Chain A
Amino acid sequence: MRKDIRNFLICGFILVVVAIFPFFANNFIIRFATDILMFAIMASAWNIIGGYTGYASFGNVVFFGIGAYITAILMEKAGLNFAVAFLGAGLGSALFAILIGLPVLRLRGHYFAIATLGVAEAMKALVQNLEITEGNSGIYLPVLNLSVKAQYYFFFYMMLGTLVLTLLITYLMLNAKFGYSLIAIREDEDAANSVGINTTYAKTMAFALSGLFTGFAGSIYAFQQAFIKPGPAFTVHTTVKMIVMAVFGGMGKLFGPLLGAFSIEIISEILSNYFLVAHTLFFGIVVILAIVFTPKGIIDLITQRKFGIAYFLQNIREHRI
């Protein structure tokens, strides 16, 4: 109990620090922090279906793209304000997750991964060809009518609020029966089924939650960019980034993806400052080394408080042939 209170106070303190941080930073830093928050939302949302439920979705970017496009269409074509479009984007993505989840969540392992990848790619191709999405030329959104500084604040706090909501819902979920049924599904789905867990319902709801928050992130992104195209909105690299962040930080842990998003973004930024052309090359090396030496994520490294070479060697010994 005392430990709970201590953790709660630490989280509150960090949140306050992050919340007042924009007042001491320039626009570039605020924008960079907003990007980190966006990826933290998406990696945490991925964690719900990939980390806790054990269904490695390789198509979560589809919710991001759908969220962005619903926002663009509602604001530009239907003339609605951002608040409505934001909610519509989240709910639309969640609904899509339910529709696509019902058939696709019947698949397991690699087959699920590839099916979701296929859904995302098919959706991209569809958006490229539809009339309402204006194909490859993309859609312009109305620009937020605020001063430049206020715009930076707006998007920063939108992302921060959404991230806090995502983590809060995940936390509540973990302490409810629903969270336990997800973990039971990850450990052994047939056993979970036979003890009376409605696995179809639980899996689909987890997928819908994942879609909801990713859709929110896509909605804010679209409004921030004020212009979206199918290519960047549905790129498979966004999915991969979510997954790498979640795994790098520690999947199936509440704060793992957040930690992963933070460190991966900082590492990429530092690398791109030092190596103009080759920084993605070094990013590849970072991913390879992280997977070989810390397959459980850096959050494991921190909570176990083992920093020595023995920890890395033990990880290798566990998984090598």
Chain B
Amino acid sequence: MILQIFINGILKGGLYALMAIGMSLIWGVMDIINIAHGSFIMLGAFTTYWLFTLFGIDPFLSLLASMTVLFILGYAVQRYLINFVIRASAFITLILAFGIEIFINNLALVMWTADVRKVKVPYGAANFSIGNYITIPTIRLIAFILVIIISIAFFYILNKTNLGRSIRATSQDLDAARLVGVDVARTYSVTFGLGVGAAGAAGTLWAILFPISPMMGGVLTLKSFVVVIIGGLGSMLGPLIGGLTLGVTEALGSNWFGSTYENLISFTILVLVLIIRPKGILGGTD
């Protein structure tokens, strides 16, 4: 029983980790707290929903589509909007992101109404058992494996490619990066695109596993915060550890105290982690 709860927590935690990877990247490199992150996740979810509903494209296949669409959107938003205020105080970009969030959420609300929708795949209920006590839903396991693959891809891009090197250089010292010939405006745009693309991937997986609606973004932004804070900025491992911690704690907590306490638990952890270890459990560089 306890093992089953633990496994459920880990499988959900993987999704939390994917949500947080994008936010952590954008925050770490550009010092932007992307309040609109949850809204981008929502857009990814709806991309998958419409591709499935209108054209019957399998939701797992639409993963690439939603990542591409969201990458382009993120690139454009950074290039033609956020770059104009990027050197103002971090606070200004925060409110700009908030304006973007209101805009996206309400545009989605006007276009798609507030209905809660669900991607109904025929294999949705498939599961398999290990021993007598543990049941694992197949799609959750596949989603979890995809999260790991996407995380590794991100790790590879950031650490082994020229693009990743210019992103890391820009985040360490903007002026020095510019001096050695990095196109900073473009690097910022690509970084934001990558982060939002990861949000799109998380949205696709979310649409496969849970019901979606235009207003789902707010809670997801808050959860991404919690994960980024628990894991700490500055490493690719942070979001993974934070996500798994949050998933497992939530699962155990709602089992012991009842699911109405789920939010109380997450946010108490958030505040406690901040007070005790402001740099996150891993204690990455700020």
Which residues in A have some Cβ–Cβ distance to B below 8 Å? 56, 103-104, 106-107, 109-111, 113-115, 117-119, 121-122, 124-126, 128-129, 236, 240, 243-244, 247, 277-278, 280-281, 283-288, 291-292, 295, 316, 318-321
Contact = CB atoms under 8 A, between A and B. Distances in A.
B106 A114 contact: no
B278 interface: yes
A319 B271 contact: no
Given A107-B274, A244-B95, A113 B33 contact: yes
A76 to B, nearest CB: 23
Most buried by B among A117, A121, A278: A121
A288 B103 contact: yes
Nearest to A120: B267
B84 interface: yes
15 contacts: A104-B271, A115-B270, A117-B222, A118-B267, A118-B274, A122-B271, A125-B267, A247-B91, A277-B110, A284-B99, A284-B102, A288-B96, A291-B92, A291-B96, A320-B83
Given A109-B90, A320-B86, A115 B271 contact: yes
B100 interface: yes
B162 interface: no
B229 interface: yes
A138 to B, nearest CB: 15
A73 to B, nearest CB: 20
A271 B264 CA distance: 36
Interface in B208-233: 218, 222, 225-226, 229
Nearest to B188: A321
A295 B225 contact: no
Contacts of A284: 99-104, 106
A128 B95 contact: no
Contact of B106 (A103, A109, A125, A280): A280
Contacts of A129: 260-261, 264
Contacts of A119: 267, 271
A243 B95 contact: yes
Given A122-B264, A287-B95, 7 more contacts: A110-B90, A117-B222, A281-B110, A284-B99, A292-B84, A321-B87, A321-B184
B88 A117 contact: no
Contacts of A319: 84-88, 92
Interface in B58-107: 81, 83-88, 90-92, 94-96, 98-104, 106-107
Contacts of B188: 321
B153 interface: no
B27 interface: yes
Nearest to A127: B264
Interface residue SS majority, chain B: helix
Nearest to A56: B91
A280 B92 contact: no
Closest 4 A/B residue pairs (Cβ): A287-B99, A284-B103, A284-B102, A125-B264
B193 to A, nearest CB: 16
Nearest to B262: A125
A285 B99 CA distance: 7
Most buried by B among A124, A125, A286: A125
A121 B267 contact: yes
Nearest to A317: B84
B92 A295 contact: yes
Contacts of B229: 111, 114
B4 interface: no
B53 interface: no
Nearest to A112: B274
B84 A320 contact: yes
Contacts of A243: 95
A111 B278 contact: yes
Contacts of B161: none
Contacts of A114: 33, 225, 229, 270, 274
B281 interface: no
A285 B275 contact: no
A119 B272 CA distance: 10
B174 to A, nearest CB: 8
Contacts of B110: 277-278, 281
A252 to B, nearest CB: 11
Contact of A320 (B85, B91, B106): B85
Nearest to B85: A319
A103 B276 CA distance: 9
A56 B94 contact: yes
Nearest to A125: B264
Contacts of B267: 118-119, 121-122, 125
Contact of A318 (B31, B87, B96, B109): B87
Most buried by A among B100, B102, B104, B275: B102
B263 A121 contact: yes
Given A118-B267, A281-B107, A285-B103, A104 B85 contact: no
Most buried by A among B27, B96, B261, B264: B264
Contacts of A126: 264
A316 B222 contact: no
Contacts of A288: 81, 96, 99-100, 103
A278 B108 CA distance: 10
Nearest to A236: B218
B255 interface: no
B36 to A, nearest CB: 10
Contacts of A113: 33, 94
